[in-house]
Amino acid sequence: MEENEKNINNIPETDITVEEAPKKNSFMKEIREWIQAIVIALVVAFLLRNYVLTLAKVDGQSMEPTLQHSDRLYVNRVAYTPQKGDVIIFEPASDPGRPYIKRVIATEGDKLYIDFETGDVYLNGNLIDEPYISEPTHLRGSYIDFLIMSGNYSKENPIEIKEGYFWAMGDNRNASKDSRELGQIPVDELIGHATFRFWPLDNLGTVDYDEE
């Protein structure tokens, strides 16, 4: 009897340790999985933010009446080629650090003429319909002034958009700094295509205009 009691008393106390070890390993595994999930989510968010889709806030009145100051937009950054009627965001080399939001009016190969007396815009010899503008186009800009002074601008001698460039103007034509001032815009200055307005909620929807 004494021998049995002695044997029982000498049993190593490992029963608690054996039961807790799997729980501890499971807990650490769960922590590692959560950390991995968070890291992956942050990487995906970074890639989406910088290379796929970003958010933009309208600053100023140059796109009225289509867009208002402080409107919020989704901007698509993936494999986008400027199309006439699209609202786009670009950052001109002449004004770094200040993104511009304008509408594409002409793309490479197009011939553009603006009659600043009547405010009419002609594309490839045809008067275009512009229901999105606030008023006819009378403001010229330094680029247009240079062309006029050098004798390189008339209805018979319109601006021809070069390969790899586009022409963009604000919808608020007489309160916008755009291609009339900056000239033709290189595609490599393009940030993306403003596809959708998500704020304010009462103006939720797309902002493009199909000129066709």
* Domain spans, the chain: 2-51, 58-203
Q: What pLDDT is recorded for position 123?
A: 97
Domain 58-203 listed as CATH 1.10.150.120: no
Q: What pLDDT is recorded for position 6?
A: 46
Q: What pLDDT is recorded for position 47?
A: 44
Q: What pLDDT is recorded for position 24?
A: 62
Q: What pLDDT is recorded for position 21?
A: 56
Q: Is 84 a catalytic residue?
A: no
Q: What pLDDT is recorded for position 5?
A: 46
Segments in the chain below pLDDT 50 = 1-3, 5-9, 11-18, 44, 47, 51, 212
Q: What pLDDT is recorded for position 118?
A: 96
What are residue 21's phi and psi, to 5 degrees? -60, -50
Q: What pLDDT is recorded for position 23?
A: 61
Whole-model pTM?
0.74
Q: Is 102 a catalytic residue?
A: yes
The residue with tokens 């390969």 is 163
One of 62, 84, 177, 179 is an active-site residue; which one?
62
One of 84, 102, 177, 179 is an active-site residue; which one?
102
Q: What pLDDT is recorded for position 18?
A: 46
